[in-house]
Amino acid sequence: MLSVKHLIDTTSLTADDITQILDTARSFSEVNKRAIKKVPALRGRTIVNLFLEPSTRTKSSFELAEKRLSADSLSMGGATSSVVKGESLADTIETIDAMSVDMFICRAKLAGTPHKICEHTDAVVINAGDGKHQHPTQALLDLYTIRENFGHLDGLKVALVGDLSHSRVCGSLVPALKTMGAEVTLVGPPTFQIADPDYFGVPQTSDLDSVIADMDVVYMLRVQLERMEGAAIPSRREYNRLWGLDMSRVDRMRPEAIICHPGPMNRGMEINADVADCARSRILAQVNAGVLVRMAAMYLLLGGENNGVSA
């Protein structure tokens, strides 16, 4: 059983919580290889997907995970909810809550929205990404992917490279990696760096070439053009030259080192096309892990035990 009722951020998770989610996700990997990819673990439970911001990977991943656990689900977006008619988010949540649902999955542009939802429902809430704040299931699927590759997380050296200041992936992955004993280095242009260098308690540099040869994992962050206010970088070409991952940099990585990216990718900007598709890339493995980890998180938060496959 997890130590938290909701999954709002990774800073609230203990190492035991994270290990339990990753182990349960691994048990669900066997389900995803079957011809009939379904278990009755959440049969009779109702889950509401409230996506107030566009999403392809996360939304489809949650919906698939819900179907594979046999949950009843309802998907709502900004344009299909009464929020567009002027109804407050609190009223929307309390209205849906009155229908006796068990869980809300929330994606929102504004940081803190999932936490606000918790104040208006007794149902479990999972943060599917809120503004620049956190994206905890993304961090968990990243940990799952890395652990599957190396067999452990403690002691690994991980560089997060790119748009640090706009990234909720950075906000959730750094604390989770630290909790599991990994060593994190942040790399990015001065205009994309974390304003308070002590916020995460990890080193930060603008020189990718000075650290790349020491890393076990090079995690490229998407440049979030939609969240920028003004020109934070000189040009796509200049960004790629200084902080993008091309084959010349890949050739300097450790032989066993891997490459991750949360998607969607700006090919030719933070990562070159041939790098994204090379043997070191674990980008599609991350996508697959997303379904497993979300199955595990929903199952455990709704009271399941470790082995969901036999539920």
Is the pLDDT confidence value at 305 over 70? Answer: no
Give span(s): CATH 3.40.50.1370, the chain: 15-134+289-302, 136-287
Which tens digits make up the pLDDT trace of 104-142?
999 999 999 999 999 999 999 999 999 989 999 999 999
Return the residue matching tokens 């939609």: 226
- 129-to-58, 133, 193, 209 alpha-carbon distances in Å: 9, 8, 20, 31
Q: Give the pLDDT mean for 27-56.
A: 94
168 is in an annotated binding site: yes
pLDDT for 101 equals 98
Q: At residue 21, what is the residue type?
A: I
- 203-to-47, 135, 239 alpha-carbon distances in Å: 40, 22, 21
pLDDT for 235 equals 85
pLDDT for 308 equals 59
136 is in an annotated binding site: no
Is the pLDDT confidence value at 54 over 70? Answer: yes
Q: Give the pLDDT mean for 256-264.
A: 97
57 is in an annotated binding site: yes
- Could you give the percent of the chain with pLDDT greater than 70? 93
Give the distance between the most distant pair of CA atoms in the chain.
57
pLDDT for 234 equals 74
Rounded Cα distance, 173 and 260, in Å: 12
Question: Would you place residue 144 in the very low, low, confident or very high pLDDT band (cuts 50, 70, 90)?
Answer: very high
Please, are residues 60 and 90 in contact by the beta-carbon 8 Å criterion?
no
Q: Give the pLDDT mean for 239-262.
A: 97
**What is the pTM (predicted TM-score) of this model?**
0.94
> Residue 284: what are its φ and ψ, rounded to 5°?
-75, -30
- The average confidence (pLDDT) of the chain is 93
Q: Give the pLDDT mean for 34-46.
A: 95
Residues sharing a CB contact under 8 Å with residue 226, sequence separation 6 or more, in sequence order: none
Which tens digits make up the pLDDT trace of 198-238?
899 999 999 999 999 999 999 999 998 766 665 567 788 99
Q: Give the pLDDT mean for 184-197.
A: 93
Which tens digits make up the pLDDT trace of 207-216?
999 999 999 9
267 is in an annotated binding site: no
241 is in an annotated binding site: no
6 is in an annotated binding site: no
pLDDT for 197 equals 78
Which fold does the domain 15-134+289-302 belong to in CATH? Rossmann fold (3.40.50)
User: CATH second-level architecture of 136-287?
Assistant: 3-Layer(aba) Sandwich (3.40)
Q: Give the pLDDT mean for 11-40.
A: 96
222 is in an annotated binding site: yes
Which tens digits make up the pLDDT trace of 84-95?
667 899 999 999
